[in-house]
C-alpha cells in the first residue's frame, strides 16, 4: 500500500514561486516513478512533470519547461515540484502519482494518487 499526501498549494500572484510537496509512505516507494499532474476546471488532466526512481531522469510538459523543477528526496520519501514564474493558466488542482513503470517516457499506469492540492495564480 502506498499513501501520497500533497501540500504546499495556495493563492499566489503572477510571477510568484511556490513549492509543492508530496510525502510518500509505503513499501518500496523509492523504487517508483513519481509524477505531478494537474487539472483545471473544465479541462483534462495534464501530466506536468515526471522523475525517475533514482531522481536522475526527469520529463516536463512543454507548458512548464524552464519554470518548474521536479525532484525527490529518497531519505524523506518526498517529491517536490518547484514552480516559478507562475501564470494564471497554471491554476489547477495538482496531484502527485506513482507508477511501477520505470520508463518516464511511456508513463503509467499510475496506481497510486494523492488527494490533490489547489494552486491558484491571480493576475
Query: pLDDT band for position 10 (50/70/90)?
Result: very high
Instruction: Give the mean model confidence (pLDDT) for residues 4-28.
Output: 95
The model's pLDDT over 44-91, given as tens digits with 9 standing for 90+, comes to 999 999 999 999 999 999 999 999 999 999 999 999 999 999 999 999
Q: What is the pLDDT of residue 3?
A: 94
Q: Strands, DSSP E only, in the chain?
A: 2-7, 10-13, 18-26, 33-39, 46-51, 58-60, 68-73, 78-83, 92-99, 112-113, 117-122
Q: Is the pLDDT of residue 102 over 90?
A: no
Rounded to whole angstroms, the Cα distance separating 119 from 75 reads 26
CA 1 to chain centre: 20
pLDDT band at 27 (very low <50, low <70, confident <90, very high): confident
* Of 4, 16, 3, nearest in space to 121 by CA: 16
Amino acid at each position: 500500500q502506498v499513501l501520497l499526501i500533497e501540500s504546499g498549494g495556495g493563492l499566489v500572484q503572477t510571477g510568484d514561486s511556490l513549492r509543492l510537496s508530496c510525502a510518500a509512505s509505503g513499501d518500496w516507494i523509492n523504487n517508483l516513478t513519481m509524477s505531478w499532474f494537474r487539472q483545471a476546471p473544465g479541462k483534462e488532466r495534464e501530466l506536468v512533470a515526471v522523475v525517475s526512481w533514482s531522481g536522475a531522469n526527469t520529463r516536463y510538459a512543454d507548458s512548464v519547461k524552464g519554470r518548474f523543477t521536479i525532484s525527490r528526496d529518497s531519505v524523506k520519501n518526498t517529491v517536490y515540484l518547484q514552480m516559478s514564474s507562475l501564470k494564471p493558466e497554471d491554476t489547477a488542482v495538482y496531484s502527485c502519482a506513482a507508477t511501477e513503470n520505470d520508463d518516464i517516457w511511456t508513463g503509467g499506469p499510475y496506481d497510486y494518487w494523492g488527494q490533490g492540492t489547489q494552486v491558484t495564480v491571480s493576475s
